Every structure is written in C-alpha cells, then in structure tokens.
Amino acid sequence: MRKFLVILTIIFIILIAFVGGYYIGGGKLYIDKFLSRNNATDSNKGSSNNSSNINTPIEEKDPIKEKIKSLTLDEKIGQLTIVGIEGTEINDNTKELIQNYHVGGVIFFKENISSRNQALTLVKSLKNINGTGIPLFLGVDEEGGRVSRMPTEYRKLPSSGTIGKKDNEGLSKKVGEILGEEVSSVGFNLDFAPVLDINSNPKNPIIGDRSFGNNAELVSKLGVATMKGIQSKNIISAVKHFPGHGDTSVDSHKGLPTVNNDINRLRSFELIPFKKAIDNGADMVMVAHILLPNIDKTYPASLSKVVISDLLRKELGFNGVIITDDMTMGAITLNYDINKAAVTSLKAGSDIVLVCHDYNKEKTVIESIKTAVNNKEITEQEIDDKVYRILKLKDKYKLGEEKQEQYNIQDINNKITSVLK
C-alpha cells in the first residue's frame, strides 16, 4: 500500500510540473515543436533528407552576380567601354584592346566593312580572341538613309525622314525588322538606332532627315515601332540621342551644341519619344554631347548627373544600359580632357563609355577609369552595378549562344525594294 502511494505521489508531481510549465510559458511552445517535428518526420519517412531543412527555402544564386564575382577589376572595367578598331582585319592594337584591356564591345564603321563575308570573318576573329567568357557587343550605326555601314551588296534603306512622311506604323516596324536582319546578317548584335530626336530646328546640321519628323507624336509612334522591329530580330536597339539633339545648331562631331530649353520644355516635347520607348521596353539609351545650361550649367548631357541619374534614371524610370555618344567627337575633345570626361560620365551614372577612334585614347580612357577606382572616385560597388546591367542585357539577347540567323542578302534586298515602293 505504501509503495502504491509513493508511485501515485511521483505521478502527481510530474503532472503538476508538466502543466505548470505549460502555462508558465514553455509548455505550448514545446508541444508545438514536438508536433511539428513528428509531422515532419512522418512526412519524410523513407526519405534520406534531413528533416530540419524541410521548411527552409533554398536561396537561388544569381548567375550574373556569380559571374561578376569571378571577374578581375580589369575585366569589369573593360566591360564599361565599347571601342572602335582599325581596318578590316585584326591587328596588334585590336588584340591588345580585347585581350589585355578586356573591352566590352566593338563598334564598326565603313572602314571596317568591305563585304559581308569579310565582315563575318572579322567578327569571328574578334570572338575567337575574346578570353573573358563574356560575349562582346558588336555594334554599328545602321539607321537607313545617309547613316549606313552596310557593304555595297545591300540596297539602301530610305531615311527615317522619308519613312516619317508616310506616317505608317506598320511600315516603320517592317523597316526595323529589315535593319535587324541586315545587322544580324553580318554578325553584329547591336544597332545604334533608331534616332528619337525631334527635328524641330530647320538649321540643325546633324539630325535633319535622320529624324522621323518635327513633332513628338510622330517620332514617338514611328520610333517605337522601328525599335520593336529591330528587337524582334534578336538585335539590341540603342535609341538616341537623349535628351534630344533636334533643336541644336552645331554638329557635335565638330563642337559643343548649346540648347537653352528648360525642363518644362523638355518634358512637354523632347523627352516624349524617349519616355515612350522606355515604357515599351528600350534596352539601351545613348546620351548626347549637348549642353543644356538651364538643366546643368557645367556639364553636357553625357557628363551630367542631373541629366543621366536624375532625369533619365529616376524621372523617366529607365533601368537599362546607358551609353555615351562617342567621346572622341569634337564636343568633348575640344572642350574637355577625354580621360576626365569618361570618368565624370561614369560618376554621373552612365554604364558604357563609347570611344570610337584613336587607339591611344581608347587605352588611356580605360586606364583613367581604373585610376579613378583605385583612388576611390568610383567605388567597386558602382562598377559592379554597371557591369550587372551590361551582363544582364547580354544575357537577355543570348549573345554568347550564336543564335543570330544568317539572312539571305537577296531576301533582304527584296524587302528593301518593297519598302521603297
């Protein structure tokens, strides 16, 4: 009997401790954990997986960020430049720019293109000497009209001004598709087109019939259609020349144009086509060398934080790649030190500095960017952010997968003939 009472007393004490612990604060938590653990165990019977990882989400690694981690500083800085090359074949200067300076891309001019087969051979050679594992931007100014780099085997497309007079959105998209096919057929993957400048100044010496017309609605409608046509052929379209080169009276190849329009005028006119393009999936925007003293008294648009970061990035909401116009144009070289200008542009928010001519200038620009990073003028995180946007765009168009179709020249010429009717 005494033994029986002792056992009952022990059981009673255990029950009191359990219930007390439950209500004092630990019991319910313990029970919940216990049930949770049992449920997890039951649901994984026959599985070799560790039950403690059942409800833990697996964080997927961003392959672009992982690629950036693998790059040296020199390789990352190289991605921030697109350069021009000399001649129709690879020479030692070209090899050095690609292999030692790791440039992110090449722009081609008439002097680099004598025929389709020659262009394809040159492009293949450039790809073969590229050792970063990151495909090159292979770009060209192919607008139609007087700005064309295509070899003589191709018929000439009409200018945007001629297309604008027809005011046909479907025709503009077809022209964009032809531009995309032409560019792809010679191995390129980036077209610096269409022009979204509004030709508002009849005395403008550089835009003229490169523009679709003199009003924002027409330029927006036809410009976006052309951009989409280019993109439909897996070619990157770089719209230009932000924030609008149409009201200038100076050729920026020869000097620095000044436009005295204020922000209200820009919002109600010049910016409209660019905003429409951004809203419709623009991938790359080229910024012009024009001084807008009512916006930024010190720097032209291509070097201006107000224009690039505040206006283009924040106000217009553009998250793609920003590239400058050619830094070897007179607007820059006659008024600024090209090396300082390149660094200033990147600090202002651009992603790529375009340096089209002069091997020595191309080298010193890249070296100046590296010096700026080493001196903490530009942080490596800022470099990484720019490289991320660049690699994301290259990945979007699968530049490394060699998927560009080799279109038949005769088919392209037949399509151009139909446009000309």
Residues with a catalytic annotation lie at 253, 325
CA distance linking residue 211 with residue 199, whole number of Å: 6
Nearest to 387 by CA among 321, 325, 341, 342: 321
With 0-12 CB in 10 A as exposed, 13-18 as middle and 19+ as buried, what is 401? exposed
Residue 140's beta-bridge partner residues?
108, 191
Nearest to 154 by CA among 118, 172, 124, 179: 179
Tell me the three state secondary structure of residue 236: strand
CA distance linking residue 262 with residue 311, whole number of Å: 13
Residue 138's beta-bridge partner residues?
106
Strands (E) located in 165-246? 190-191, 236-242
Count CA atoms within 13 Å of residue 246 on its CB side: 27
Question: DSSP characters for 341-393?
Answer: HHHHHHHHT-SBEEE-S-HHHHHHHHHHHHHHHHTTSS-HHHHHHHHHHHHHH
What H or E segment, with its residue span, contains residue 108?
strand 105-108
Q: Is 133 left (phi over 0), alpha (psi -120 to 50) or beta?
A: left
CA distance linking residue 52 with residue 228, whole number of Å: 50
CA distance linking residue 403 with residue 193, whole number of Å: 21
Strands (E) located in 123-257? 137-140, 190-191, 236-242
DSSP 89: S
CA distance linking residue 151 with residue 115, whole number of Å: 5
Strands (E) located in 265-347? 284-287, 321-324
- Show Cβ contacts of residue 372 under 8 Å, excluding neighbours closer than 6 positions: 343, 346, 347, 378
Compute the radius of gyration of the chain from its Cα atoms. 30
